[in-house]
Amino acid sequence: MKAKLIFSLLILASFSIKAQDMFYYYKGNKIDLKVDKNYLNIIAKEELQNFSDSISNYFSIVQDENDQSRKITKLKFKSTPNELEYTEVLKTLKRAGYVKYAFPYFERSSETPSIGTSDIFYLKLKEKKDTTILKQIVKERNVHMIEQIAYMPYWYILSVQNSVFSNAIEASNFFYETGYFADIDPAFMFDFKPQCTNDPMFNQLWGLSNSSDPNIDINACDAWTITRGAGIHVAVVDQGIHMTHNDLSANISPVSFDAQSGTSPSVFVPGEAHGTHVTGTVAAVRNNNLQVVGVAPESTIIGVSHDLYISSTISAELADGISWAWQNNADIITNSWGDQGGLYYNELYSAVLEDAIINAMTQGRNGKGCIVTFAAGNWGVMDYPAYFDDRIITVGAIEANGSRASFSAYGNELDIVAPGVDIVSTIPNNGTASYSGTSMATPHVAGVAALILSINPNLTRTQVTAIIESTAQKVGGYNYQITSGRPNGIWNQEMGYGLVDAYAAVQAADCPTTIVSGTISSDITYSDCIIEVVNATIQNNADVVFDAEEYTLINGTFEVQAGSTLEVK
């Protein structure tokens, strides 16, 4: 409690240092630097968990970008501070009882992550005998001379810890301006590790790999170390796909269908980019040095086209397209369309369309069931037909900071969320563009479903859904709770089960889970890798066996009534 109080007061303390843009010297020239006020690097006096409650009021810890060897932790402000707020934090963090040093980040281009600094900087002597001058100035300024770079004898590594300098930029500039030294280097913390793909626009795909906040993405790179979706067919029911797009064509099936005419092939209408954009998010080609990459970059796309304009037969046509898809080897059917939250249709339904969707979910994949995804909608209330059947995976959208997108529909029918704001993907004529909407979120989930099935094609639709929902990330600071009718973990009406996690999902696909819930009234044996029991009751003298390869997990309430038996193997 004491730590929490000290840190809270620290942020509100008085200040006198004014933040301003900075510069450093490169080859004798001043290079301007612009502070990125969203981030700080800190060196703490003790483990951050000792006062993490206090830090969480203002910052999130960027887990994957910490220098453990020097105990440097990257913090991200939860909201961008103004200049006054930022300078106050820089000044007062250094005086805190628990934080020793704070170091700035600097902006680069709009498409490139900002770069951090630390206590370290480098210095080059003019001559070897200048070590005498260096040692003198180091002593006067309390700078720590760490070591000489072994095979570069003119270069030294220094630290500002316990010195008169607040950061490496300030220190390196001072040493250079003395005129005694040949060069300096403020030791920017470059990220030289290779990207998981060579597609040049990958750093713009925050939904797959979020450089601003690595805790808010679908963990695609890790998932691709296991699978990339080969052998799985995803039907995209939309306004046509530009199938010759150079970042899509290698993953487009020769089999396609136009739902309006009831004939093959599908139709691409010039000027309609929506379907091409959706397709790129599912399956744009990876490692081809072109543009973007999809969530399941080795899956195959089956195009099912319809212009989606109002007509007297639109429901029958879409029903026919969905039925054609599951009868022509589609494993997943993704739909980024709906009735705009009932804005025009209120509570009117289509039996023929619903029948087609149910048939796909029950009869597709030789009875294992197609996975059907629908966009939740952008009108506040759920789109139809996304909400009519619990077996549909209904997808909402989040922003890059983990919060629900303001337009994203939510409510009791929401299952999962995915990146849906500023999503860069393919558009016709070999182009790319950034779109926002639950339409953009939905193909992320369809792609994850493809990754899951490529690992274990024998999974049923129910099992795939359970994997997607049970492995979701609880992001955004929302109140996720145990909810009746939601057996796959804690849930929230704005976020569903949370942000889809490709890596966790493909790991779980190797060890599928059977969810047991509700009332069990007859003899039955449940066999699977994992058995999870959620709010279940065994009654009516039923004899039940849980035969799990790994373990049986009990969540929520569980009761075995008198006369019934349970055996756990």
pLDDT averaged per 10 residues, the chain (length 569) = 28 34 90 90 68 57 61 82 79 67 83 85 96 96 95 96 92 96 95 82 95 92 94 97 97 97 93 96 95 97 95 94 98 94 68 97 97 94 92 97 96 97 97 97 98 94 93 95 91 97 92 86 89 89 86 79 91
Residue 16, pLDDT score: 28
Q: Which DSSP letter does residue 466 get?
A: H
CA distance 224 to 222: 5
CA distance 260 to 512: 39
Residue 46, pLDDT score: 62
Question: What distances in angstroms separate CA 547 from CA 291, 524, 557, one per listed residue?
Answer: 48, 11, 20
Classify 458 in phi/psi space as left (phi over 0), alpha (psi -120 to 50) or beta: alpha
In this structure, what are the phi and psi dihedrals at residue 203, rounded to the nearest 5 degrees?
-70, -10
Write down the catalytic residue from 233, 242, 245, 274: 274
> Which two tokens mark 256?
């396609």
Q: 212-510 is classed in which CATH architecture? A: 3-Layer(aba) Sandwich (3.40)
Angle between helix axes 461-470 and 438-455 (nearest 10 degrees) is: 120
Residue 190, pLDDT score: 87
User: What amino acid is encoded at 109 in this protein?
Assistant: S
Tell me if residue 528 is catalytic: no
Instruction: Identify the H or E element spanning 487.
Output: strand 486-491
Going by DSSP bridges, is the β-strand pair 120-125/99-106 parallel, antiparallel, or unpaired?
Answer: unpaired
Tell me if residue 439 is catalytic: yes
Q: Which DSSP letter does residue 368 get?
A: T
Is-contact 490 480, C-beta < 8 A? yes
CA distance 103 to 81: 16
For domain 120-185, give the fold: Alpha-Beta Plaits (3.30.70)
CA distance 285 to 290: 8
Write down the catalytic residue from 211, 266, 299, 439: 439
Neighbouring C-beta atoms of residue 245, cutoff 10 Å: 24
CA distance 244 to 279: 12
CA distance 480 to 483: 9
Residue 12, pLDDT score: 28
> Which two tokens mark 298?
């080795």
Is-contact 221 148, C-beta < 8 A? no
Same fold, 2-21+35-107 and 120-185: yes
Options 3.30.9, 1.10.260, 1.10.3470, 3.30.70; CATH of 2-21+35-107: 3.30.70
CA distance 168 to 543: 70
Write down the catalytic residue from 199, 238, 320, 501: 238
| Residue 518, CA atoms < 13 Å, CB-side half-sphere | 6
Tell me if residue 274 is catalytic: yes
Taking alpha carbons only, the member of 409, 474, 473, 469 closest to residue 439 is 409
CA 380 to chain centre: 23
Residue 122, pLDDT score: 97
Write the CB contacts of 14 (distance below 8 Å, at least 6 apart in sequence): none
3-state class of 278 per DSSP?
helix
Question: What distances in angstroms separate CA 373 from CA 109, 177, 248, 473, one per listed residue?
Answer: 36, 62, 21, 19
Residue 154, pLDDT score: 96
214 class by beta-carbon count within 10 Å (0-12 exposed, 13-18 middle, 19+ buried): middle
Is-contact 537 519, C-beta < 8 A? yes
> Which two tokens mark 193?
């590790």
Domain boundaries of the chain, sorted by first residue: 2-21+35-107, 120-185, 212-510, 514-568
Residue 7, pLDDT score: 28
